[in-house]
Amino acid sequence: MKDLTKIILSEKELPSAWYNIIPDLPRPLDPLLSPRTLQPATPDELIPLFPPDLLQQEVSMENWIDIPGEVIDIYKQYRPTPMFRARRLEKVLDTPAKIYYKYEGVSPAGSHKPNTAIAQAYYNKVAGTKRLATETGAGQWGSALALACQLMGLECTVYMVKASYDQKPYRKMLMHTWGADVTASPSNETECGRKVLAEDPDCPGSLGIAISEAVEDAATDENARYSLGSVLNHVLMHQTVIGLECQKQMAMVEDYPDVIYGCVGGGSSFGGIALPFAKDKMTGKNVRLVAVEPTACPTLTKGIYAYDYGDSVGIGPVAKMYTLGHNFIPAPIHAGGLRYHGDSPLLCSLYDQGIVEAIAYHQIPVFEAAVTFARSEGIVPAPEAAHAIRAAIDDALECKEAGEEKTILFNLTGHGHFDLSAYEAYFNGKLEDYEYPEEKIKEALTHLPQV
Amino acid sequence: MKDLTKIILSEKELPSAWYNIIPDLPRPLDPLLSPRTLQPATPDELIPLFPPDLLQQEVSMENWIDIPGEVIDIYKQYRPTPMFRARRLEKVLDTPAKIYYKYEGVSPAGSHKPNTAIAQAYYNKVAGTKRLATETGAGQWGSALALACQLMGLECTVYMVKASYDQKPYRKMLMHTWGADVTASPSNETECGRKVLAEDPDCPGSLGIAISEAVEDAATDENARYSLGSVLNHVLMHQTVIGLECQKQMAMVEDYPDVIYGCVGGGSSFGGIALPFAKDKMTGKNVRLVAVEPTACPTLTKGIYAYDYGDSVGIGPVAKMYTLGHNFIPAPIHAGGLRYHGDSPLLCSLYDQGIVEAIAYHQIPVFEAAVTFARSEGIVPAPEAAHAIRAAIDDALECKEAGEEKTILFNLTGHGHFDLSAYEAYFNGKLEDYEYPEEKIKEALTHLPQV
């Protein structure tokens, strides 16, 4: 089996439980705080936003959480996802390294996001929630939740960052096809949105603002709850099906990664592939786990490790994380999913403890890597995922210099079918590189909550 | 294994040979004619357009043609493709029928088209061709050939029907990403194009006109050849990997289809799934093979079985087929891939002999079926493929009335990621139904070549 190119598992080999790393952490996680009191958030404060099962998972000390049958049934529509040996890319790079990639773009929504969307919709249905409200940047998360709500019989309201709402009409249409309501954020539908618009009527929006709107919407309607596509512990845990499958697929080809690359916005796709391997690492395995982020939003590589608001307006939970400041408005890079001011607290803790590493790339070399990949492996990657490709290619090229037969694995979190205008801009020389200025980071310090 | 939802084969089970039905036909096929002499086309006339291996395959009397290793290596990037049991759709329809679908949308180009594009690019590379010229309607075929040429190291020129070129910018960008040149047709690049533009400067183009341009381009450049994405025998033969995999997948779940539905434009996806089963049928198996076409382009259901030009200007080979007349300009339905005036001569012969059946649908009920499918199975289908879904759903609903446990299989030839504006038009009540008028068919008779 060592010579396989497409490494697939039968549906019988779908993981039956998610892996929860929390009990295995060398240092306990700092608790979420209430935005009102800045004291540890009580269940009472969170229950209007999240159903009991998800709150339980957020703090669970069980290592394995069974995946409900109804969730498994929907996973089967696209899981297990394939892992590929990138033979044609290896040949183009003329590298002795072996490059593998896990491909999550086979889901109907085109990314890894349904892994948690389906689970969240399920637990909400069980809890009697009628409608879920959420935010979306480029639209990957919003479309995943629209799909999941449709399949679970829930209504879905998506606050979509206005810049993307205008630039990516196809993502909006996809959400409509799955029956969701989509509103450009900042909107006049919420107090948070009206507040932002009053200050800046032309505000292009940000993920932080859209989160504020969705949280307010859910908190003020007893039939609705809120759903977050990344950052939280339970979200990363649902995504561990990615890494659990990778472990089986690597075993099929009798190999094991020396290094794993994944892009990081809020941390869910990276956590999904990395956490099961982080367990291996903490028990002695030699595997590097490298988070790849854009220089335009260098949360891990240049941010501050501190308590900050998860949303821009400051009505959502406060988390200890690397942050660029909750009032961060990102440069308009095309990797919309990587423009969040913070990062998963779990991932940040692993980074702080040296279990996870991080690097940052500019967007033009990222698109260059994306095109090299599309022209060798065929698949057109999402700009977010292309960050991991850039890192994998650079590593493989270093292996060529050093004559090293390293095993590289990266997470191809989604396809770029809805990002082709970014490719066209790249071909037409219209992309710009952005560096997040040091002085802005210093300035951000002054806006952190005083915990 | 009978309870599988996602029925997958390992890459080791990829078919090693294509099935050629020609030797098994009860009646030999009528030969292609030269457009100049209207006598059987000689190899000399065809060699500027097609490489020797493909001309050989076009008339081969071998039942099985080995798939070259280099083609298999690329097939492995997405093949074998999954077959799904549509359990959620069955539940929504509340039908006792079992519905299966073969999903070809997992290819990097998003449809079945790479199955032949990769083979054609390979045989052209072997023959020393430097560049391939082709036409594309909605862009499915053009993007598949762009991908295949990129992977085989050939240049690629695509003449894209102008209406689609303007309406579907993402398909054009996809071809650019894979390195192809894309020209709106009719263009000023060819004599054929200039002739059409002289008569009608605002001509929206047609597949027939784009074929004329691509054929002229290839015929007038000794380094270039022409590539056709459907209609010809060798194209349908390359697509038989679809049906051959389906036979193995059906055996895995210990089932066999009572009926197979596939959409038909030129006939390649339908031929691909149906021909291996047609062999079963000709040797006594009880399976219905039903081609589904749009009422706006009812080639099989309302056309004439006669020799006609394959292209609009009359410079390409002349074939015996069901036709609506080579000067047919289709109504602007969104299933761009089903707007061809003719059909595969092989498929037409099977239809004429009663081995294949045909039905036609209006576009609004087709989109209604597409949305039902997207909201139950998740995948957003291409409008072409949705014709088969409509037929499968109608059959399943009849089974509900009759209490019949029929096994239905259909070919989901591609996803609709680049067709979402058509879905949006459907939701906004802006789609129209079109019936091709009887008097136009009669008029078409007067333009057929006098063979």
Q: How many residue pairs from chains A and B have C-beta atoms closer than 8 A?
A: 120
Query: CB distance B427–A176 less than 8 Å?
Result: yes
Tokens describing residue A118: 């389906």
> Burial, A2: exposed, middle or buried (Cβ in 10 Å; 0-12, 13-18, 19+)?
exposed
- Out of A4, A174, A420, the one facing B173 most closely (by C-beta) is A420
State the SS3 of chain A: CCCCCEECCCHHHCCCEEECCHHHCCCCCCCCECCCCCCECCHHHHCCCCCHHHHHHHHCCCCEEECCHHHHHHHCCCCCCCEEECHHHHHHHCCCCEEEEEECCCCCCCECCHHHHHHHHHHHHHCCCCEEEEEECCCHHHHHHHHHHHHHCCEEEEEEEHHHHHHCHHHHHHHHHCCCEEEEECCCCCHHHHHHHHHCCCCCCCHHHHHHHHHHHHHCCCCEEECCCCCCHHHHHHCHHHHHHHHHHHHHCCCCCCEEEEECCCCHHHHHHHHHHHHHHHCCCCCEEEEEEECCCCHHHHCEEEEEECCCCCCCCEEEEEECCCCCCCCCCCCHHHCCCCCCHHHHHHHHCCCCEEEEECHHHHHHHHHHHHHHHCCCECHHHHHHHHHHHHHHHHHHHHCCCCEEEEEECEECCCCHHHHHHHHCCCCCCCCCCHHHHHHHHCCCCCC
* Angstroms from B65 CA to nearest CA on chain A: 23
Query: Do the bridges between strand B17-19 and strand B6-7 make them parallel or antiparallel, or are there none, so unpaired?
Result: unpaired
pLDDT score, position B163: 87
Look at residue B113 and give its three-state secondary structure. Answer: coil
Tokens describing residue B367: 């989109």
pLDDT score, position A272: 98
pLDDT tens per residue across all 451 residues of chain B: 789 999 999 999 999 999 999 999 999 999 999 999 999 998 888 889 999 999 999 999 999 999 999 999 999 999 999 999 999 999 999 999 999 999 999 999 999 999 999 999 999 999 999 999 999 988 999 999 999 999 999 999 999 999 889 888 899 999 999 999 999 999 999 999 999 999 999 998 888 899 999 999 999 999 999 999 999 999 999 999 999 999 999 999 999 999 999 999 999 999 999 999 999 999 999 999 999 999 999 999 999 999 999 988 888 889 999 999 988 877 878 888 888 899 999 999 999 999 999 999 999 999 999 999 999 999 999 999 999 999 999 999 999 999 999 999 999 999 999 999 999 999 999 999 988 888 888 887 788 998 8
pLDDT score, position A311: 84
pLDDT score, position B389: 98
- Out of A6, A374, A379, the one facing B76 most closely (by C-beta) is A6
Closest residue in B to A367 (Cα) is B177
What's the start-to-end Cα distance of chain A, in Å? 54
Tokens describing residue B215: 């054929």
- Output the CA angle A124-A126-A129, nearest 5 degrees: 45
| Identity at A93, one-letter amino acid code | L
The total number of residues written for chain B in this structure? 451
A9, A142, B104, B398 from A50: Cα distances, Å: 33, 17, 38, 43
Closest residue in B to A415 (Cα) is B108
Q: How far is CA A288 from the centre of its chain?
A: 19
Quote the ipTM score: 0.95
10-residue block means of pLDDT along chain A (451 residues)? Answer: 92 97 96 93 89 96 98 97 98 98 97 98 98 94 98 98 88 97 97 96 90 95 96 97 98 98 97 98 96 96 94 88 88 84 96 97 97 98 98 98 97 96 95 86 84 85
All residues of chain B having their beta carbon less than 8 Å from the beta carbon of residue A179 are 375
* Angstroms from B10 CA to nearest CA on chain A: 7
A54, A64, A81, A123, B271 from A69: Cα distances, Å: 16, 15, 18, 12, 38
All residues of chain A having their beta carbon less than 8 Å from the beta carbon of residue B77 are 5-6, 84, 88, 377-379
Residue A65 near residue A18, CB atoms below 8 Å: yes
Query: CB distance A177–B420 less than 8 Å?
Result: yes
> Rounded to an integer, what distance in angstroms lies between the CA atom of residue A231 and that of residue A332?
21
Cβ count near A314 (within 10 Å): 18
Of B240, B264, B281, nearest in space to B119 by CA: B240
pLDDT score, position B334: 86
Query: CB distance A176–B423 less than 8 Å?
Result: yes
- Out of B8, B177, B420, the one facing A374 most closely (by C-beta) is B177
All residues of chain B having their beta carbon less than 8 Å from the beta carbon of residue A87 are 73
* Angstroms from B372 CA to nearest CA on chain A: 10
Residue A338 near residue A264, CB atoms below 8 Å: yes
> Rounded to an integer, what distance in angstroms lies between the CA atom of residue B105 and that of residue A105?
12
* Angstroms from A144 CA to nearest CA on chain B: 10
All residues of chain B having their beta carbon less than 8 Å from the beta carbon of residue A108 are 374, 377-380
> Rounded to an integer, what distance in angstroms lies between the CA atom of residue A262 and that of residue A103?
12
**Secondary structure of chain B: what % helix, strand, coil (to 5)?**
45, 20, 40
> Rounded to an integer, what distance in angstroms lies between the CA atom of residue B300 and that of residue B418?
27
pLDDT score, position B441: 80
Query: Torsion angle, CA of A247/A251/A254/A260, rounded to 10 degrees?
Result: 0
Residue corresponding to tokens 């589904």: B292
Residue B264 near residue B236, CB atoms below 8 Å: no
Which residues on chain A place their C-beta less than 8 Å from a C-beta of chain B?
Answer: 4-6, 8, 10-11, 73-74, 76-78, 84, 87-88, 106-110, 147, 150-151, 169-170, 173-174, 176-179, 371, 374-380, 417-418, 420-421, 423-424, 427
Which residues on chain B place their C-beta less than 8 Å from a C-beta of chain A?
Answer: 4-6, 8, 10-11, 73-74, 76-78, 84, 87-88, 106-110, 147, 150-151, 169-170, 173-174, 176-179, 371, 374-380, 417-418, 420-421, 423-424, 427
Residue B90 near residue B99, CB atoms below 8 Å: yes
DSSP B5-62: SEE---GGGS-SEEE--GGG-SSPPPPPB-TTTSSBPPHHHHTTTS-HHHHHHHH---
- Mutate which: A5, A74, A168, A427, vs B, most B CBs within 10 A: A5
pLDDT score, position A386: 98
Query: Torsion angle, CA of A276/A277/A278/A280, rounded to 10 degrees?
Result: 100
- Out of A108, A378, A418, the one facing B151 most closely (by C-beta) is A378
Q: How far is CA B252 from the centre of its chain?
A: 27
| Identity at B362, one-letter amino acid code | H
